[in-house]
Amino acid sequence: MALSSHGRYHYSPITARPVYNWPNGARLAVYIALNLEHFSFGEGLGAQLVPAGGMDPDVLNYAWRDYGNRVGVWRLLAEFERLGLPAAALVNSEIYDYCPQVVDAFRRRGDEIVGHGRTNSERQCDLCGDEEAQLIRDVTAVLAAREGHRPKGWLGPWISESRQTPELLKAEGYSYVLDWCHDDQPSWLETGNGPLISIPYPQELNDIPSIIARRVGAAEFAGMIIDQLDEMLEQSSGQPLVLGIALHAYIVGQPFRLRHLRRALEHLARSRDRLWMTRPGAIAGHFADL
């Protein structure tokens, strides 16, 4: 019996692929992705600190998430600046109307702005084809107008895709997507509109599934980042690899978690001579040129 297939890529063992280097001879590329998200009040989806139950409106969880835009993101930016770490801002387009100062701060640093839907109160997979296509067009237009150029990359809200999402992204001019976590190297996805690069995006080194879903503590999460970096640096002697770190300001921007995350970021900064500290768009560009 043949199982249903996504048809986007074929199986390829990492031990049987061509070997190449990242810039300056590095074998491990590392990027930090900070999700900048805005939510609809009293409706739609949203991560929960506590079960909402029958609360309507859900003031507690909405305010907890909004802490990230008001406080947490500025604490994280201060650490990125102190340590000289680049970042990629994964931006809900509604952020530009709600708190444009946040995106302004990343733009001034020269960080990459990645499309991340309109709001994380909705998922692309819940939209019909025309609605999803319009959402991608609308988000792209906002980011292009505010940043002066079209975004290269996309992460779907809630990592959600419809059956046609890769085709729609390729048609809108996107060169890479972060939705797939199937590898430690970039890979090509097949679409009806031409190939699209998949850049590895972490679901283990990601504070939502780790801290919110699995209740990992702040110290343990920081230790996970350190161990992942050290292990992948050793593994990269055999193959070039990509290590992504996915953060949300309303989670790791909480003071008691930030204190532990700082330890992981400092370890990352001390290791910079042994790796390529970069952004996902640069990884996609280098991979496409190989």
Q: For position 110, what pLDDT does the model report?
A: 98
By the 8 A CB rule, do 29 and 40 touch?
A: no
The whole-number pLDDT of residue 17 equals 95
Q: Are 155 and 208 in contact (CB under 8 A)?
A: no
pLDDT confidence of residue 170: 98
Q: In the prediction, which pLDDT does 147 show? A: 98
Question: How crowded is residue 184: how many other Cβ atoms within 10 Å of its Cβ?
Answer: 19
pLDDT of residue 46: 85
Residues 6+ apart with CB under 8 A from 202: 181, 243, 244, 245, 246
Q: For residues 282 and 110, is the Cβ–Cβ distance under 8 A? A: no
Bridge pairing between strands 196-198 and 187-189: antiparallel
Q: Which amino acid is at 165?
A: T
In sign, the C-alpha dihedral spanning 279, 282, 288, 290 is negative
Spatial distance between the Cα atoms of 68 and 76, rounded to a whole number of angstroms: 10
Q: Name the one residue in this structure whose structure tokens are 């509604």.
A: 94
The pLDDT score that the predictor gives to residue 124 is: 92
Q: Which two tokens stand for residue 279?
A: 């952004």
Residue ranges of domains in the chain: 24-39+54-289
pLDDT value of residue 107? 98
pTM: 0.96
Q: Is the peptide bond before 57 cis (omega within 30 degrees of 0)?
A: yes
Contact 113, 89 (CB under 8 A): yes
The residues near 139 (Cβ < 8 Å, ≥ 6 apart) are 93, 115, 117, 118
3-state secondary structure (DSSP) of residue 35: strand
pLDDT of residue 54: 73
Q: Write down the pLDDT at residue 51.
A: 80
Q: What is the per-residue pLDDT for 50?
A: 81
The alpha carbon of 279 is separated from its chain's Cα centroid by a whole number of angstroms, namely: 10
What are the pLDDT tens digits along the chain (290 aa)?
889 999 999 999 999 999 999 999 999 999 999 999 999 998 889 888 888 777 789 899 999 999 999 999 999 999 999 999 999 999 999 999 999 999 999 999 999 999 999 999 999 999 998 999 999 999 999 999 999 999 999 999 999 999 999 999 999 999 999 999 999 999 999 999 999 999 999 999 999 999 999 999 999 999 999 999 999 999 999 999 999 999 999 999 999 999 999 999 999 999 999 999 999 999 999 999 99
Encoded tokens for 135: 């959402």
Report the pLDDT value the prediction gives residue 189, as an integer from 0 to 100.
Answer: 98
Please name the CATH architecture into which domain 24-39+54-289 falls.
Alpha-Beta Barrel (3.20)
Nearest one of 30, 88, 33 to 236, comparing CA atoms: 30
Position 129 scores a pLDDT of 85
User: Any alpha helices (H) in the chain, and if so which ranges?
Assistant: 59-67, 73-83, 95-98, 100-108, 129-147, 165-171, 207, 218-235, 249-252, 255-270, 280-289
Q: With the CA atoms of 96, 98, 102 and 103 taken in that order, what torsion angle do they form, in degrees rounded to the nearest 10? A: -10
Beta bridge partners of 113: 89
pLDDT at 47 (0 to 100): 85
